[in-house]
Amino acid sequence: MEIPKRDVIGILTADVRLYYDIAKFLKSRNIKFRLLGSRDSIPLDIGVILTSPEEAESIGFTPTIAVKDIEPAMRKAIQAMNGTGCCHVLIIGVDPGPEPGIAALSNGRVIETREATSPEHAADIILGILSDYSYSQCVLRIGDGSPEHRDRILELVSGSFNYVEVVDETRTSNSIRGFHTDAAVKIARFGEELEYG
């Protein structure tokens, strides 16, 4: 029998408001999740459980994450499911512009994509990603287009990365609105593209 991939977040809480808030957040990010009952056995596809701080001790499942703030808890959950601890390189790719696209990669896997409303919002997202994920080194790869927006983002996150690379985004950009995150993923993978063609 094939073992299912553990790629679903379980929500196990008696706090209805917390369940609603977590579910709404995960739906907005297209992350798979399931509501679990306290008397049910944990399905094999559950990779991590989110619950309230008060209930965390009573749940016999590892990893279980106590949710105080939803976004950092979600990032810890994604990291736990991907099996990436502190000894890996976190790469953040940015497609600069008035509405920058952002992608975070860990061990070559996309762990988060976001579209910001401004360079300032992009910097807030980037700094949030850096504070919520564990890593041994962090790399920022940012496209060379839109110099005014690019330089503003670089100024706001200055000093936060081990390495910063400005990359040629000629082959990464898409003129269609709403594809900034796709371009950000390509920018984050820029070195891989050069190496592997």
Residue 9 has pLDDT above 60, yes or no: yes
Give the pTM. Answer: 0.76
What are phi and psi for residue 180, nearest 5 degrees?
-65, -35
Residue 89 has what pLDDT? 87
Percent of the chain with pLDDT over 70: 88
Label residue 126 by pLDDT band (50, 70, 90): very high
Helices (H), the chain: 16-28, 70-82, 119-132, 147-157, 180-188, 190-196
Q: What is the mean pLDDT of residues 72-79?
A: 89
The amino acid at residue 188 is A
Q: Confidence band (pLDDT; 50, 70, 90) for 155?
A: very high
pLDDT number for residue 124: 96
Structure tokens belonging to residue 92: 């953040």
Looking at every residue in the chain, the average pLDDT score rounds to: 87
pLDDT of residue 185: 93
Cβ pair 93, 105 in contact under 8 A:
yes
pLDDT tier, 194 (very low <50, low <70, confident <90, very high otherwise): very low
CB 117 within 8 A of CB 125: no
List, in order of start, the domains of the chain with CATH numbers: 8-82 (3.40.50.2300), 89-196 (3.30.420.10)
Query: What is the per-residue pLDDT for 2?
Result: 61
Question: What are phi and psi for residue 164, nearest 5 degrees?
Answer: -130, 130
Question: Residue 57 has what DSSP assignment?
Answer: G
User: With b meaning 16 or more CB within 10 Å and e meaning fewer, what string describes 3-15?
Assistant: eeeeebbbbbbeb
> What local confidence, expressed as pLDDT, does residue 183 receive?
92
Query: Do the strands 109-115 and 101-106 form a parallel or antiparallel pair, or are they unpaired?
Result: antiparallel
Q: Is the pLDDT of residue 53 over 60?
A: yes
Of the listed ranges 99-108, 164-173, 181-190, the one predicted with least confidence: 164-173
